[in-house]
Amino acid sequence: MSQTAEQPSAETNENLEVLTGKYLTFNLGEEEYAVGILKVREIIGVMDITPVPRVPQYIRGVINLRGKIIPVVALRSRFAMEQIEDTELTCIIVLELPFNGQNIPMGILVDSVQEVFELDLEHLADTPAFGAGINAEYLLGVGRLEQRVVMLLDVDRILNVEELNAVSQSVSPEQSSGGQA
């Protein structure tokens, strides 16, 4: 896996160069995704998650991570994928995301965790054009791993704290008035 890569064209090289490095891969259904290992703080098994009322659906709730309360985002829900029951393999990957100059911990709920691998330039490709209606902006690029294709997630964008907050604010009155009726 550590062969030196041939230099692709200079342009793509520049874009993809920053993406080389180690990744943690995980599954959502059959699909395989990856996040940069430097963002991963730890992986924990799924535990009882306390739901928080009137926040966006994809925020499953909060958990106690050694004395600190952290939110858990259900990635399936975030990508509007089909909901399934938690299994024995279901995991929470605790990520550290930059916010206001600090790194705040946040959990993502995934079906199962796969492996850690190193991506070099040779195995990287730009995000393919999926066509209209598909949010390719959540992807940094695509990695090829043996026969598999791994989507490199842009977690900073998917779990953008500002955005989550903005969404939760706009969603709340709707839901609350619904709850009251």
Partner 1 sequence: MGADTIQALVQTLSRDVKAMETDDVQFLANLHGQFEQLSDQLATVSLDRTRHATQAACELLESLILEPPDDAQHAVNTLQELIDALDGVICRDVDEAQITFPEALLPDDLASEPEPAPADIEDTTDTPDVMWTLPSTVDQEVIDEFLARQPGILEEMESVILQADQSDDRAAIDQMKRLLHTLKGESSLLGFTAVAEACHLAEDQLLTASVKELGESLLEMKDWLAVTFDRCAQGETLPACPVSRFRSPDGVKTAEQNRITRQSEVTGSDTEGRILNDPDGLIADFAQEANDHLDNAEDQLLALEAEPTNSEAINSVFRAFHTIKGVAGFLEFNDIQTLAHQAETLLDRIRKNTLELSSGLMDLFFDSSDQLKKLIANVQQCLKTGEPLCEDQQIQGLCDRLIAAIDGKVPTNNDSAGQTRSKLGDALVEKGAATDQQVSASLTTQADERGERRIGEILSNDQGVAAQSVGQALREQRQADAPAATPSSGTARQIKDIVKVDAERLDRMVDTIGELVIAETMVAQVVERLDAENTMDEHRVMNQLGKITRELQEMATSLRMVPVRSVFQRMARLARDVAKKVDKPINFQISGEETELDKAVVDQIADPLIHLVRNAIDHGIESSTEDRVQAGKDEAGQVHLRARYQGGNVQIEIEDDGRGMNRDAILSKAMERGIVTADQTLTDEQIYHLIFEPGFSMAQQVSEISGRGVGMDVVRRNVEAMRGKIEISTRAGQGTRLIIHLPLTMAIMEGMVLRVHHRRYIVPTLNIVRMFCPKQDDLSAAFDRYQCLTHGEDLLPICDLGTWLGVTDKPRDPTESVVVVVERDGALAALVADELIGQQQVVIKTLGATMRHAPGVAGGSIMPDGQVGLILDIEAVFRQHTMPKQEDRAA
Q: How far is the CB of 171 from partner 1 (least distance, A)?
A: 10
**Hey, which bits of the chain come out as E strands?**
21-28, 31-36, 40-45, 59-65, 68-74, 91-99, 102-110, 112-119, 124-125, 139-145, 148-153
Q: How far is the CB of 110 from partner 1 (least distance, A)?
A: 18
Residues that bind partner 1 (CB under 8 A): 48, 50-55, 59, 61-64, 66-71, 99-100, 104-106, 161, 164-165, 168-169, 172-173, 175-177, 179-181
Q: How far is the CB of 15 from partner 1 (least distance, A)?
A: 30
How far is residue 3 from each of residues 118, 119, 120, measured CA to CA in Å?
11, 11, 9
Q: How far is the CB of 68 from partner 1 (least distance, A)?
A: 6
Nearer to partner 1, 145 or 171 (CB): 171
Q: 148-153 and 139-145: which strand pairing?
A: antiparallel
Nearer to partner 1, 71 or 141 (CB): 71
Number of Cβ within a 10 Å radius of residue 110: 24
Nearer to partner 1, 27 or 175 (CB): 175
Cβ atoms of residues 69 and 47 within 8 Å? no
Q: How far is the CB of 46 from partner 1 (least distance, A)?
A: 13
39, two tokens: 């963002």
Instruction: Give the integer Cα–Cα distance in Å for 168 and 162.
Output: 10
